[in-house]
Structures are given as structure tokens and as C-alpha cells.
Amino acid sequence: MRAVLIGCGDHGGGVLIPACLSAGIRLTCLVDRDISRAGALAAQWNIPQVKASARELDTGCDAEAAIIALPVTEQTDQVAWALARGLDVFVEKPPALDPEGLQDLINKARAAGRVCCVGMNYRAATGMQELTSRLRSGRYGQVSLARVAQVARKPVEPFHERTSFEASLFYAQGIHALDLALLLVPTALEISGQFISVKRGLFCTVTGEDAAAGVRFETSFGSCGAGLYHEVTVLAESGDLLSLRNLSELTCHPGGSDASISDYPGARVLWRRSPVAAGYASAGYTAELTAFRSRATGLAASSPDGAAELDQLVPVYAAFDSLLRGKDLLWLT
């Protein structure tokens, strides 16, 4: 697959270029308003073309896809541009600023007949794949309770004058936390939560329930002075408790399904990432770009195990929208 990369900042230039190459996507052009930055990256990675604007690609573009990694307020327009020109699209999260914008992109992708996937690397990370493969084995039964914690150093202020602080928190952390929670407990759509004040940044908790099925998720996400922290904990129907911390170690505190509990009541380490298994593959970037390439070239159908597609994020946006509406808060100012 040949692709153009639109946006050569820290993520586009530092993460997506090598991840694309690892995923078998050949970049034929870099687009960035900082033409000198794009030129330096093109020379480093032997990419033949550099443009200051995607509009310069309207003629002479041999790409089959667009990889987009721009500031949150610029991505939607670039996705629409790429779809209108018949390109399949991989866009970093968030693809849209609010649910209405997301639905508009879904409609545009359907009208164009193109694939549009979203960079949700946590669901594609090796640790999450280890967790979900065990849950799908049938040994543990359904997920009764899922807890997802996602903490990072930003945002400490709104990303843009157009976006509320609360929405900026969703764009940075909440979209990942809610995506994983709803993958694990998809029927828990009765939403509640609150925003939590801290001296630096902002925190949020969102819970979802399905009282009839007896299942629930709890998410906490936000920004503070600490570094990145990520944890997914699952209480299974079997009584087993599985915990994935920082995408690097999966443990199980066994419940009634493990016959050896009386002999060995402690936690079992089910999987641990090797110290040398760091980088783009274990963090999910190569895996999701590989899944996007397979989806766009017709080698794979849409599935929860593949790259995240726009319509799969509808319940994620809806959950956060429900919280905002319940507190008379807005996505955009």
C-alpha cells in the first residue's frame, strides 16, 4: 500500500513513519506546514516527496491511502478531503470533535465507499490482545465488571479555544478508556460520572451499567503531574480477577474456576512483556496500521479484533456525550 502522511509532528514523524514501514505501508509523500521539518524526515526515511499542504496533492498523487496525525481541530477537514479524493484513511484519535462530527465522517466514508480507521492503539497493544484472547477462550465466562484507568501528563488546559476542557480530556485520555471499557462490557450503556478537581489538569470518572445483565464498567482518566499510567482490571463471571498493568504484565487472581486455589492461592502471571519487546509493535501502532492495510486492501473484514473503524466509536462518543449533557457541559465553546 502506498500512502501519504499528513502531519509530521512528534507523533506523525516520530511514531507513525517507522510504524507504517513496519506495517508494510510505503509512504510516498510527507505533508506538513513546516516544510523544513518534513524535508528532514523525508531525507531520513528516503521518502520521495514533501508538500506544505494536502491541496498540493490534488494532481500527481499516487497514494492509495492517507495517514493523518494533526491537531484535534484540523483532522476532520483533512479526513473529509482524503475521502472525497477516493483515499482510504487512517486518522489518529480523535477523528471528530463531537458526536455530530463523527456521524458526518461516517456518512462521508460510506458515500465514498472507502475505509476509514482510527488510531486506537491501546486496543491493538500486545497486552490488551493477550487479555482479550483469554477472555474469548470461554474459560472465564462473560465480563461482569471492567475497570479502566488512564492517566497522563496532559491536557492541563483546553487543546484549543474552540474546545472545552472537558472535551479535551476526552480527546486525550477518555476516548481510550471508554473504548476499552465498552469493548469489554458493550451493553453497559446507562451512563453516569463526574469531573474531579485537581491542582494540575482534570480528572473524570465514567461508569456504565446494564442492570438487567448484572454487568458494569468503571473508568477513571485524566491528567496530572505523574507520567503515563494505565491499568485494565476485569472481574469475570467465573470469579477470576485479571489485571493488565501498563500494557506490560497480565496477572490473574483465580476464583472458582481454578482447581489449584487451595494449593496456591496467590496471583498467577499469565503474560509479561519482554524488556526488549518495546516500541511500535507492543504499543499497538504497528498492529493497528497492519490491520488498516489488511482492511483497506480487502484482506480482512471489519471486526472488533481489527483496526478501529468510525462507527465502532459511536457508543464511545455517546457515553461521554451523555455525561456532558447531564451536567450541562459542552463539547465546543
pLDDT tens digits, residue range 182-215?
Answer: 999 999 999 999 999 888 889 999 999 999 999 9
pLDDT of the residue at 57: 83
What's the fold here for domain 2-122?
Answer: Rossmann fold (3.40.50)
CA distance 31 to 195: 37
Residue indicated by cell numbers 457541559: 329
Common-topology check for domains 2-122 and 126-274+310-326: no
pLDDT tens digits, residue range 293-314?
Answer: 999 998 877 776 678 999 999 9
Q: What is the pTM of this model?
A: 0.94
Q: Per-domain residue ranges for the chain?
A: 2-122, 126-274+310-326
267 pLDDT tier (thresholds 50, 70, 90):
confident
CA distance 164 to 328: 12
pLDDT at 225 > cutoff 70: no
pLDDT of the residue at 282: 67
pLDDT of the residue at 62: 86
Closest CA to 131 of 284, 263, 23, 276: 284
Higher pLDDT: 323 or 259? It is: 323
C-alpha cell, 286: 504497528
**Mean pLDDT to the nearest integer, 267-288:** 79
Mean pLDDT over each residue of the chain, to the nearest integer: 92
pLDDT tens digits, residue range 21-73?
Answer: 999 999 999 999 999 999 999 999 999 999 999 888 876 678 999 999 999 99
What's the fold here for domain 126-274+310-326?
Answer: Dihydrodipicolinate Reductase; domain 2 (3.30.360)
